[in-house]
Amino acid sequence: MNKILIIEDEQRVADLLRHGLEEMGYLAFVAYDAEMGLRLFRSGQYDLVISDIVLPKMSGFDLVKEIKKHNKNIPVIMLTALGTTDDKLEGFDAGADDYMVKPFDIRELEARVRVLLKRVVSDDAGLPEKELTYADLEVNLLMKTVYRDKQEIKLTPKEFNLLTYMVQNPERVLSRTEIAEKVWGTHFDTGTNFIDVYINYLRKKIDRDFDIKLIHTKPGMGFILHSEYENQA
């Protein structure tokens, strides 16, 4: 049975989450503030964390950063009463894997939990490749490092995951919906532009200092990783 740690200071919400997940076959544990959540996380083996953003004693963003320092691979879902693009970006930058806005349907939460746990199982099964290359871009899947023309490029976890998916699917247009589902494990929210924001983040790091641009926009369709895209236009 998968163990899930819930960090939520509203007891009503925490109880709802715990009871709902337990009815679906998970082992659920609750912490009512960030410090307690961090202590429980460090003292136990959990398969997934669900954390509110607004917490006593530490923000949810800072909490997720500490959790990811301890275990960078554990999936984290962040909960909030707000759903702005900036909130989502800050959550993803902190290392969150998914994001849900209150109020939400417990069945939708469970579906996202299932997707993230399945992803971890797939990762643990072993990657077919340890390194990905495209043009002069090198991505090491084990070391989580990126080099372009032998120059190391520092990426956040979300930037790394997005770039990895693009390198795994080069010279093919990737829609925002596909990126949301495959990289974020969620449905694309047309009310926000966080995918475009992350594409721009990657462009600044991957393309800005190089003559050949690799990341391109296909207007009305999505994005493509292509070393000769402009020449084909």
Q: Do 94 and 64 lie in a common domain?
A: yes
Residue 211 CB contacts under 8 Å (≥ 6 apart), including other chains = none
pLDDT tens, position by position, 112-148: 898 888 876 655 544 455 788 888 999 998 888 999 9
Supply the pLDDT for residue 105: 86
Q: Once rounded to an integer, what is the mean pLDDT over residues 38-66?
A: 89
Q: Does 230 score more than 60 pLDDT?
A: no
pLDDT of residue 233: 38
What is the rounded CA–CA span in Å between residue 65 and residue 88?
Answer: 15
Q: Which of 39, 65, 64 is nearest to 52 (CA)?
A: 64
Identify the CA nearest to 160 among candidates 224, 95, 100.
95
- Tell whether 7 and 113 lie within a shared domain: yes
Specify the pLDDT at position 231: 42
The reply to whether 190 and 116 lie within a common domain is no
Same domain, 147 and 107: no
In DSSP terms, which residues pair with 50 in a beta bridge? 6, 77
Is pLDDT above 50 for 4?
yes
Instruction: Record the pTM.
Output: 0.60
Any idea what the CATH number is for the domain that residue 53 is in?
A: 3.40.50.2300
Residue 169: pLDDT over 50: yes
Alpha helices in the chain (DSSP H): 11-23, 34-43, 60-70, 85-94, 106-124, 157-168, 176-182, 194-206, 229-232
226 and 154 assigned to the same domain: yes
For residues 27 and 89, membership in a common domain is answered with: yes
Output the DSSP codes for 66-96.
Answer: HHHHH-TTS-EEEEES---HHHHHHHHHHT-
The residue among 65, 99, 124 that closes a domain is: 124
Q: Chain-wide mean pLDDT for the chain?
A: 85
Answer yes or no: do 78 and 9 share one domain. yes
**Lowest-pLDDT choice from 103-107, 142-146, 152-156, 184-188:** 184-188
Tell me: do 57 and 103 sit in the same domain: yes
Compute the distance between CA of residue 72 and CA of residue 214 in angstroms, rounded to an integer: 28
Range of the domain at 60: 3-124
Domain end position, chosen among 124, 158, 177: 124
Tally of domains within the chain: 2
Average pLDDT over residues 172-193: 77
Q: Is the domain of 78 the same as that of 143?
A: no
CATH code of the domain covering residue 174: 1.10.10.10
Give residues with Cβ within 8 angstroms of 134, minimum separation 6: 167, 170, 214, 225, 227
Q: Are residues 46 and 17 in the same domain?
A: yes
Which of 65, 93, 124 is the last residue in one of the domains? Answer: 124
Q: Are residues 105 and 165 in the same domain?
A: no
C-alpha 177/C-alpha 78 separation (Å) is 20
85 shares a domain with 135:
no
